Amino acid sequence: MLRTHVVFAMLSILFLNGCHLSLAWADWEAQGNVRIFNSQSLHLHSTEFSTKSSGLEFNPQLQGKWGSSGRLKVNGRVSVDGAAKDSSERLRIQERNFFLQASKKSFSARLGIQDLTMPGPDILNPMDVIHPKDFKNPLAPVELGSLGLSAGQNFESWNYSVLYIPLQTPPRLPGEKSIWWPRKKRLPLDYEFVDEARIPENVEYRIQGPIEVDRARKDNFAILSSYIGLDFETHFLIYEGLSLDPQLLFNASSTNFVLESPIELIPFYYRHRVIANSWVIPMGNWSFKASGSLKSPLKSKMYVAGRTNPIVEGSESTGVIGVEKNIDSKGGFLTIILQKTWEKRESSNQISFLRSVFENAWNFAIRYPLNEQNQILAGLVYDSVGKSSITQLSYTFRISDQWSLDAHLQFLEGKDTTMVGLYRNYDQGALKMTYNF
């Protein structure tokens, strides 16, 4: 993957020479943006772990075409964070697409790093199970591409795509000095006979090499079939391969459930099969959306040497049902989204604070364009089980066609016994200045 990073960076340099390049064998078009960003925890300050982020982000998009059938596409993100305490977070190269495509009539094939676009609801999409993510900020993960071979065909009302991934890209975790690893003194548990564990002050984390079972990363594949008609659209997905939700084991010495630093974190990679479906029914300015998935590990129970309880046990189901309304306003279309989500796990050995905030939740989002220059975004996730919430507010000021300024606030609220409550003091504010070319 290092070689991919180098080639991706070299191709990105082409952007420095202008937005339109013409070579003898192809016509090239380049665009993208450069962004200066700064984010800061509103309550926490530390010299030991990262409570702020500040630096430069480059999002290039390069496309080359030759004839009517050939195409090369490159896009991704290069992020330099000078405020990060962890070396793994100071430079992140997040490649999303880097592929060659050949087309003939309605048929096309791609070879390289690519992402198969997953239709489905906003906020939480149960069909988004194929491609890994960079979890530097777990509340705003960045999707990564997978190196593979895909083929697809479009017909009048339906289409299909198949994707083969010989070696899946693993999810990328936050750095060892990230603010997102638990650092409160008490860690609530609901695990066997243990109610809680104690975390020492200035705790250190060490991310170890992964444990992989059932050839989890090898020979992953997906089949997507879609029907798009005048009255409704529906999509059906089958995926088998690496489970992309980070599954972590931890090793630490303890005395009376007081953990001793450093705490070792071990990624656990296992293989599962996913069946997912989504529906959209448009009715004028209204859209009704529903989606669901069933994730089943290939083995009913999975164990790791030295542990008596299964690491993975049983299936997991996710469902979303919601409505979207578009209202014409002076500044453009006002969009309102309301969703009900649920997740259910069969496992009886869960750590309570790791249970999903979407286990039984309501989601709300609104996009309000005041005019051509100003836009407001707001989102809320309310966890009905833990009575916790995540609130996000954003304001965008479009200075010109090229320049824009974004301000963002994020608030987390919940009891200490919930996942969100562990990060109750992790409210953040951010500013971004973007230049588009």
Q: Note the pLDDT tens digit of each residue in 328-386.
A: 988 889 999 999 999 987 654 444 444 568 889 999 999 999 998 999 999 999 999 88
Structure confidence by residue, pLDDT tens digits, 178-211: 988 888 776 766 555 556 677 888 888 999 999 9
Question: Would you mind telling me the total number of residues written for the chain in this entry?
Answer: 437
Between strands 248-251 and 107-114, the pairing is: unpaired
Distance between CA atoms of 291 and 127, rounded to whole angstroms? 8
Distance between CA atoms of 131 and 170, rounded to whole angstroms? 9
Structure confidence by residue, pLDDT tens digits, 53-109: 999 999 999 999 988 889 999 999 999 999 999 999 999 999 999 999 999 989 999
pLDDT given at position 434: 98
pLDDT given at position 107: 95
Computed on alpha carbons and rounded to an integer, the radius of gyration of the chain in Å comes to 23
Tokens encoding 57? 């982000």
Tell me what percent of the residues of the chain surpass a pLDDT of 70: 85
Bigger pLDDT: 411 or 255?
411
Residue 32 pLDDT > 70: yes
pLDDT given at position 111: 96
Structure confidence by residue, pLDDT tens digits, 209-239: 999 988 999 999 999 999 999 999 999 999 9
Residue 116 burial (CB < 10 Å; 0-12/13-18/19+)?
buried
pLDDT given at position 57: 96
Task: Please give the mean pLDDT across all residues of the chain.
Answer: 86
Average pLDDT for 255-274 = 85
Q: Domains in the chain and their CATH numbers? A: 2-436 (2.40.160.10)
pLDDT given at position 346: 66
* Angle (CA) 419 421 422, round 5°: 70
